[in-house]
């Protein structure tokens, strides 16, 4: 197996390669840092299968280059969180914590909060309060690189949100100059706002007001991505029904971003296809072969 990490995050992959060499022997897992050209050369080479994590544009290029070879794609989230009027008291605090995990740089992080009319204002107020308690430089780190920071800033500047709540940045003296961005809550948005349609990949939550439950499901399923989602309600039975209607490969009830190696993770639509984690993911790297023998 050849593992090519993102060019801006090679260190953990190199450490993994060292551990793999000690456990499995030399050259079983080869770590090859590089840029997009390196990745393209790998896909064009005589490999049997390709698993790719990255952007939708990158995934389309990988699929084109791979041709008829097996491809597993994990291509991003922009995940919805349906917050109903009877949501638990801890809902806003939990969503805030999940949205700033790794500075929001997680494909499965909550991004689009969807409410009903009767609880919209209370959710905006609650999220603003909880996100205001999360301080960049204290509770979470910076964005990874200059390109990601510029993309994040562009989406925020292009957003036509009527309501904005910004948190704080307090990096230590040894961390000045990083790509620090405060937690942000945007509300009073059009359905086609850039902050709604695009995966922001940063410490930001948008809040949309649905007319009713049917409209809430429509909004949740109304973006190109379909990786993960969550439903928040004290009525677990009704929440499970709603979770089943969400077009997402992974759904949570009264939690978000709770993952373990035993539970499968994978997307639909422009979030890709294939499975990460769990025993089901092993099938991505196996191919059945049938041998039939006539005896006698």
**Which residues are tagged catalytic?**
74, 107
Taken in order 89, 106, 276, 229, the sign of the CA dihedral is: positive
Q: Which residue has the tokens 């000045």?
A: 176
Which conformational region is residue 76 in: left (phi greater than 0), alpha (psi within -120 to 50 degrees), or beta? left
C-alpha triplet 88, 92, 93: angle, nearest 5°: 100
Radius of gyration of the chain (CA): 21
What is the DSSP annotation of 198-239? S---SSEEEEEE-SSHHHHHHHHT-SSEESEEEEE-S-HHHH
C-alpha closest to that of 227 among 69, 10, 117, 80: 80
Name every residue whose Cβ is closer than 8 Å to that of residue 248 and which is 6 or more positions away in sequence: 79, 80, 226, 227, 228, 229, 267, 268
Torsion of CA 43, 44, 47, 48, to 10 degrees: 80
Q: How far apart are CA 276 and CA 202, in angstroms?
A: 22
């Amino acid at each position: 197996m050849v593992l090519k990490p993102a060019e801006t995050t090679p260190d953990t992959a190199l450490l993994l390669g060292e551990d793999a060499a000690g456990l499995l022997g030399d050259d079983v897992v080869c770590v090859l840092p590089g840029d997009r050209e390196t990745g393209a050369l790998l896909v064009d080479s005589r490999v049997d299968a390709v698993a790719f994590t990255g952007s939708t544009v990158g995934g389309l290029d990988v699929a084109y280059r791979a041709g008829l070879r097996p491809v597993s794609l994990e291509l991003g989230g922009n995940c919805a969180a349906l917050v109903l009027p009877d949501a638990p008291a801890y809902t806003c605090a939990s969503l805030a914590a999940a949205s700033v995990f790794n500075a929001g740089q997680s494909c499965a992080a909550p991004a689009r909060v969807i409410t009903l009319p009767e609880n919209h204002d209370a959710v905006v107020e609650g999220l603003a309060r909880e996100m205001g308690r999360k301080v960049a430089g204290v509770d979470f780190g910076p964005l990874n690189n200059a390109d990601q920071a510029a993309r994040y800033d562009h989406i925020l500047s292009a957003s036509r949100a009527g309501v904005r709540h910004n948190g704080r940045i307090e990096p230590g003296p040894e961390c000045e100059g990083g790509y620090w961005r405060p937690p942000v809550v945007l509300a009073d948005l059009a359905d086609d706002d850039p902050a709604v349609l695009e995966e922001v990949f940063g410490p930001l939550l948008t809040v949309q007001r649905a007319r009713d439950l049917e409209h809430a499901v429509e909004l949740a399923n109304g973006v190109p991505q379909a990786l993960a989602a969550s439903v928040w309600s004290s009525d677990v039975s009704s929440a499970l029904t709603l979770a089943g209607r969400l077009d997402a490969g992974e759904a949570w009830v009264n939690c978000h971003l709770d993952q373990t190696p035993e539970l499968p993770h994978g997307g639909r639509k422009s979030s890709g296809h294939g499975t990460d984690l769990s025993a089901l993911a092993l099938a991505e790297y196996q191919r059945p072969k049938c041998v039939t023998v006539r005896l006698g």
